[in-house]
Amino acid sequence: MSGRVGKVSPDERLKVWVRAGGRCAFCNVYLLESELTRRPVLLGEVAHNVAASDAGPRGDARLSAKLRNSADNLLLLCGLHHPDSDKRAQLDLLTVDQLQALKSDQERRVRQATESVGRKRTGLLRMQGHIRGATVDVGLEAATEAVLRSSNRFPELPLSFDRQGVEIDLRHVAGETSADDTYYKAATARIDEVVNQLLRPAVESGAVSHLSIFAIARFPLLIYLGSRVDDALTVDVFQRHRATESWVWPEPAADDPTFAVRRDPPLDDANDHPATEAVLIINASGTIHRSELPVSTYELPAYVIEVEQGVPHTDTVRSRTTRDSIEYAIRTMLGQLEQDDKSIRTLHVFAAAPVSVGVTLGRSVGWGIHPRLVVYDRLDDGTYRPALEVTTP
């Protein structure tokens, strides 16, 4: 059969325009605006690679009418280059393969360019466990809403067959109520299993470059999780806000609290030798006093991170600005250790802080030459006991 075979449907025509980004495949001129009036007009022409008819330029009788008029066989060209590309005198150069390569290169460039602006991808990591026997859930729907509403990203779930993202479920780890060494050993093993088998290979392959973390668990496990997330990743840590009962980060406000770090001398200054251990207290959602800590810490210097004005409460960390202020205070503290307390190899950590601070602290110390952390649990009687050691992986 000769002559024109079928015609391009509106759906296929739209695909061509979108894939080409509204630009000519040859000269890249923008085809959606008049250069004369600057009004929005359609200046592009949808051109065939393999011709619409057998007798046309680059005609091929073996290709069906459907394939000839599909977006895969069509290019978006300007009014100058469309007729130029069909001149028989140059078909030896403008072959089917040459035009297909040109089309593919243009569409690849358009896709890469548009992926680098606007909303970017983020992987979801959710960790959920019991806290003092209470069941806590970090739902996929709530996490997705938080990303969409409070970040310039969209969530992708590429690392699981059930399209649930990366999930570390600690709710089936026995012994949370007593939270003894056996519990923490099992819980950290579960974290390592998911990170090493699922997350780390995806990071190394380039499948995930940004991660949104939603976690609820005992505070030592939040720090441990943060220490295990690869430092090559850009990470956004979320938390559930009691004021709104939501994981969505509110917009920053001018009066958002800021945090600073100070160094306190030992309460019992009986040791004349350089300290090899120190205390880190983070007062972000409540206040921990030195006198509440184990007596064994009294002879140690203490670094205290606390709000610069006011009294900390459950919603003090109410925006990313405040969360980032705490991260800056943590990094300032680590810098002071490097400068003034090089002999310190262990930090005893006591924190009254929301989940985002725990993960952030773990991220800050997990991938550098920093002291090991001995993280404490607060018991029902108000005393503290060491729960977990966190060191660089």
Report pLDDT for 134.
80
Report pLDDT for 130.
85
> In whole angstroms, what is the distance from residue 228 CA to residue 222 CA?
10
> In whole angstroms, what is the distance from residue 186 CA to residue 189 CA?
5
Cα-to-chain-centroid distance, residue 380? 35
Report pLDDT for 162.
45
Q: Which segments of the chain have a pLDDT < 50?
A: 1-2, 159-162
pTM here is 0.73
DSSP H or E stretch at residue 205? helix 200-205
Q: Are 39 and 33 in contact (CB under 8 A)?
A: yes
For 178, residues 6+ apart whose C-beta sits below 8 A from its C-beta are: none
Report pLDDT for 209.
85
Number of neighbours of residue 14 by Cβ within 10 angstroms: 12
Our separate counts of H helices and E strands in the chain read 10, 13
The amino acid present at 195, given as its one-letter code, is: V
The tens digit of pLDDT for each residue in 9-64 reads 999 999 999 999 999 999 999 999 888 888 899 999 999 999 988 888 998 888 88
Greatest C-alpha distance within the chain: 101
Q: Are 171 and 186 in contact (CB under 8 A)?
A: no
Report pLDDT for 164.
58
DSSP H or E stretch at residue 119? none
Which of 357, 364, 360, 358 is closest to 338 using CA atoms? 364
256-393 in CATH: which number? 3.40.50
CATH 3.40.50 residue spans of the chain: 256-393
The amino acid present at 278, given as its one-letter code, is: A
